[in-house]
Structure 1
Amino acid sequence: MKTAKAENKTQDIREELLETIEHLEHILPGQAPIRDFVHHNTLHGFQHLDFTDAIAEARRITGAGGYLPQEKYREYFKQGRIDESDIDNVLENDESLSSADIIADIDGRELTKKEIYRAALLFDFKPITRSQLHWLIQEKHVLSRFQQDIAERSREQLIKAAGKHDLTSETDVIDELWSSCLQKLDLEHFIVHPEDMTDLSANSAEAMINDLASAEQGDDSYQVLMHHLVRKKGERLLSKQLDSIGSEHTLGEFLKSITGEDILNDLRPVIIRHVGLFLDGGMAAWPYIDRTKGFYNTWRAIAKQDLTSVFEDLRDWHDTIDGLADDPLETMIFELRRTGVPEEKWAHYIERIALELPGWAGMFLWHANNSDEPNINMVDYLAVCLVLERLFAQRLCGR
């Protein structure tokens, strides 16, 4: 009974992978052999979605951003390339924003969502530390004069409103605004110079940390505590990176994030050379032997001779090639499991592998779907990519 269940599960996994591969037609470029360059729609395969949804989905799959950073848009606003009417047009015409909704009424002054959206678009509301706040007060005089990023219209509105309360100077206006904010938030403002607040003598700092060490580690030293804190921080970051494999990163991308080395730089020429030879139509000076076996099995037959110089320092890589299954789909399943990618992330992982070389993968897929040759299959391409990814990853980790 268990054997039957295992067989059914394996069959389900195979079918899911084949469905994922079939779906690649919607995200890879439909690249036929061409003589001259033609543009490719980067949102190919997402035309059935609304534009904003298509941008988000393309970013999730490919990592390519569809918009400039917020800072760039704010810079354009200051330059006048984006003006008030542009912002109003978007906020008023996007019904999903409900910009006209009133979220507060203060003494007859209605505050709408539109005003909140506008402020969030125009200003970077990142929190600052107490030291940064005091530095801005001392050095930038933020509580006594308008800063350069405050629009002229906003200044005029504040001064006009303050005039009704006999406040005329810029300093009085800002001071009253700050006091109102503190009152609403039930806060008090104590003016302390940053140096008085943050600076400790070396002896005081070491004594404080040693006290923490004693509390947490008994008689352990300051160095032990620092090691403990750094290790904990590293473990959290590593766990986050590992969890991203499959959904956000491939194994190669993960290694790049922690080592700074990109295995794709070495893997790319190998894949391109073999795919080019396999799809060349018999024109290459060094044609592929017996292409009737398909790309995967033909590559497997010559891999040990072709890759000797590449993996000369990698132990047992010949055994890896010799141990590969005849069925490329079985090899895909084996490599995904060996990499440790959870099964629920396999579809995303396959998409990211295919999109590492979208042009060549698209060319291979086009031949698989349009060629009369029965032995061109996208499963072959992906199986070879997964095997090479593991080998190049092992080589990098062994250095």
Structure 2
Amino acid sequence: MTPATPDAALTNGGPAPASEAPASLVRIKACLAELEHLLPAQAPLRDFVHHNTLHAFQHLPFAEACSTAARLTGGRPWLAEERCRELFRQGRINATDIDAALRQLPELRPDEVLCCSKERTLCRGEILQVALRHPSATLSPVQLRWQAEEHALFEALPADLDPAQRQRLLAAAGGVHEQAAVADLWAAACELHAAAVPMAVAAPAGDGLAELGWGRERVEGARPGDDAADASHASALWLWQEMRAGLGERWTLAALLAHLCGEDLRTALQPTLIRHLGAHLDQGLAAWPNPARDQGFYAAWRHSAGNDWAWELDEFADARDDIALLPDDPLLVIDGELSRLDVAPAQRAAYLQRLALELPGWAGMFHWRESHAAQAGSGKAPVALSDLLAVRLLLERLHAEQLLQRLCGLPLRVSELGDYFTAQPAELWVRHARGSGRLPEELLDAVAPLLAGRPTDGVADWQRVWRLFRQPTAATARRRGSPALAAWPLLALAQRLALSGRDLREIGAAGAAALLNCAGSLASAQRGLLWLLAYEHHYRQQILAALAANHGRVPA
């Protein structure tokens, strides 16, 4: 499965042989036809219309449809949690609504008893409600220390704690001063933290490879040999092949480079592309209509590239010559660019799908105009989704090559990226750790200048950061594994549940682990759905209450 050279497949990339081209073009056409089910049917707006953005998923249950659409489009199907908590504070959602929402999802088992003390019986629903309303933040050692110094984290109860819960905690501590009650609760949390569920913030970062989400058993065969601090060429080759195999199903080239470089080329690419798209779809309002728009979007865009001296891509080396040599058929351009990226044939449909769904409104309107060319309001300029995707693919490659040259300091082409990273294994692993959000906070400042351009010391700078990541100092390990950092989530949860230090000691380590497990068990999609169900329940109860209050009244 591994090529003979680090990037043999990419190096040998290029347009498919003539004998294979017809079959590959047929597959591309079939893929474009399939996009009809995913893209919005975005017609030119003349009247207000309702459009079901989940029409391609309406055969699925609602929650599953939302999750599937989010995975494919990158859109957010649920209201942001912070906004939901703001609605709770405004009284537009209350605790009764959340309780009703939990009961609408029987798999959450809200009535199941989780643990008991002498005075309290805790059910899953109570813990899940607290987890929704007051999620425990993941704090770094520096953040925890700052919270303790600035907000008296271990000396005072939260300012927004419910008055009844505050009173219960103080009463359970014998009516002593608040600081003594918090100190006792904190002491109990520290006593139990070692046997509680290990939190991500408390885990030492010494085993960097296994932490990066690729699976320990797969990493073992690729990890460095005797020197655990050295990233091997074999491990870098394996990691690069894993990343490259994800082109299509997991990410586009732009998304992969954003992961590795910390800079998203789409922020510069999309505004330029959108200006050309708007000019092509114009129905008489644009300040600048492309003079070649009657030839189709791809041809008009190439015309701009060859004749407009104020064109946006003049700073790109050899871009005009490259574009002038392109074939006239946009399908051939799509096929050639996908081949240059070495996107596997089985992944090409997914890759084009991801590109189209980056700008779903524009892609949807292109598809609608192409499918309704004879309909009034469709405009005179020919429109084809293949034109949009051909230009988008080409722009992605041009921007990617410029980004790589600027950040790596080498005249790299995309096809050479694998060879470069295989020769610089420490750089690849550190970039991947940062993109995965696994790089410790104290190393982010050291990595920032390396991401911004070529490092002063070359390979040595990346290797230095890699060694720090793989072999943290004893002081760093102690900070990460400190009792305070590990016990903090249990303290925060106990305060919201109005559990005293005595309650915690009575439920013991097993009970504490059960509490933390339950509080962290809600997936992001479940949290979003629960907030939606709670909001709808509150609204529905308001309507029903108004109907009941006015039942039997005779209109005046």
Structure 1 length normalisation: TM-score? 0.66
Separation in structure 1 between the aligned mates of residue 192 and residue 186 of structure 2, nearest angstrom: 10
* 2:393 aligned residue: 386
Maintained 8 Å contact 1:368/1:378: yes
CA contact (8 A) 2:111 2:125 kept: yes
Q: CA deviation at 1:133?
A: 4.4
Secondary structure in 2 aligned to 1:64?
Answer: coil
Change (3 A) 1:328 1:269: same
The worse-fitting range, judged by mean Cα deviation, of 358-367 and 34-43 is 34-43
1:163-312 equivalences in 2 (<5 Å):
166=174, 169-185=177-193, 246-247=248-249, 250-252=252-254, 257-258=262-263, 262-276=268-282, 286=291, 288=293, 291=295, 296=298, 298-299=299-300, 302=303, 305-307=306-308, 309-310=310-311, 311-312=313-314
1:120 equivalenced with 2:128 (yes/no): no
SS in 2 for 1:116: helix
Match of 1:334 among 333, 336, 360: 336
Q: Which runs of 5+ in 2 are unaligned?
A: 1-16, 196-226, 232-238, 376-381, 407-556
Asked whether the 8 Å contact 2:269–2:395 carries over to 1, the reply is no
Return the match for 1:153 from 139, 164, 173: 164
**Cα gap change, 1:239/1:395 in structure 2, threshold over 3 Å: closer, same or farther?**
same
Distance 1:16 1:112, change over 3 A: farther
Cα pair distance change 1:323/1:78, threshold 3 Å: same
Q: Which residue pairs with 2:371 in the alignment?
A: 369
Aligned residues: 341
Q: Give the one of 71, 74, 95 matched to 1:60.
A: 71
Greater shift, 266-275 or 37-46, is seen at: 37-46
Q: CA deviation at 1:313?
A: 4.5
Specify the alignment match of 2:31 in structure 1. Answer: 20
Which residue of the partner structure matches residue 202 of structure 1? none
Letter in 1 for 2:190: L
Does 1:83 pair with 2:87?
A: no
User: How many Å separate the matches in 2 of 1:343 and 1:157?
Assistant: 64
Q: Deviations over 1:107-129 (max 9, x none)?
A: 58543221221221122312434
Partner deviation per Cα, 1:34-77 (whole Å, 9 max, x = no partner): 43454544444333333333333333333332334333333433
AA at the equivalent of 1:179: A
Aligned ranges 1:19-58 → 2 under 5 Å: 19-36=30-47, 38=49, 40-58=51-69
- Structure-2 separation of matches of 1:26 and 1:264: 23
Q: Retained in 2: the 8 A contact 1:303–1:321?
A: no
1:39 and 1:171 map into 2 onto residues whose CA distance is 57
The one-letter code matched in structure 2 to 1:269 is R
CA distance in 1, matches of 2:322, 2:146: 60
Greater displacement, 51-60 / 309-318: 309-318
Q: Tell me, yes or no, if the aligned pair for 2:316 and 2:402 is still in contact at 8 Å.
A: yes
For structure 1, which runs of at least 5 residues remain unmatched after alignment? Answer: 1-5, 188-215, 217-224, 230-236
Partners of 1:253 and 1:262 within 8 A in 2: no
Q: Distance in 2 between matches of 1:122 and 1:239?
A: 42
Question: Deviation of residue 265 (structure 1)?
Answer: 1.9
Question: Is the 1:100–1:114 contact (alpha carbons within 8 Å) kept by the matching residues of 2?
Answer: yes
Cα separation, 2, equivalents of 1:315 and 1:129: 44
1:135 & 1:287 partners in 2: Cα distance? Answer: 61
Q: CA RMSD in A?
A: 4.6
Residues 32 and 363, structure 1, Cα contact 8 Å, conserved in 2: yes
Q: 1:69 and 2:80 equivalent?
A: yes
C-alpha displacement of 1:150 = 1.9
8 A contact 1:28–1:44 mirrored in 2? no
Counterpart position of 2:535: none
Determine helix, strand or coil for the equivalent of 2:122. Answer: strand
* Alignment partners' CA distance in 2, 1:151 and 1:305: 67
Counterparts of 1:104 and 1:12 in 2: how far apart (Å)?
62
Secondary structure in 2 aligned to 1:45?
A: helix
Give the secondary structure class of the aligned counterpart of 1:181.
helix
1:263–1:393: 8 Å Cα contact kept in structure 2? no
* Cα shift at 1:270: 2.4
Higher relative contact order (CA 8 A, sep 6+): 2
What's the secondary structure of 1:355's corresponding residue?
Answer: helix
> Quick one: distance in 2 between partners of 1:142 and 1:242?
45
Distance in 2 of aligned mates of 1:287 and 1:326:
14
Distance change in 2, residues 1:331/1:121 (3 Å): same
The Cα of 1:172 is off from its aligned counterpart by 4.2
Largest Rg, 1 or 2: 1
1:347 aligned to which of 333, 344, 349? 349
- Give the equivalent residue in structure 1 for 2:432: none
Q: Is the alpha carbon distance of 1:268 and 1:103 closer, same or farther for their aligned partners in structure 2, counting shifts above 3 Å?
A: same
Identity of aligned residues (%): 32
Q: Which residue of 1 aligns with 2:215?
A: none
How far, CA to CA, are the matches of 1:335 and 1:361 in structure 2?
19
Residues 140 and 314 of structure 1: CA distance in aligned 2, closer, same or farther (over 3 Å): closer
For each residue in 1:356-397, what CA deviation from the matched residue of structure 2 results, as whole angstroms up to 9, or x when unmatched?
A: 443332222123323359x86433432233234434555666
SS at match of 1:103: strand
**Does the aligned pair in 2 maintain the 1:255–1:262 contact within 8 Å?**
no
Aligned AA for 1:359?
A: G
Contact 1:246 1:345 in 2 (8 A): yes
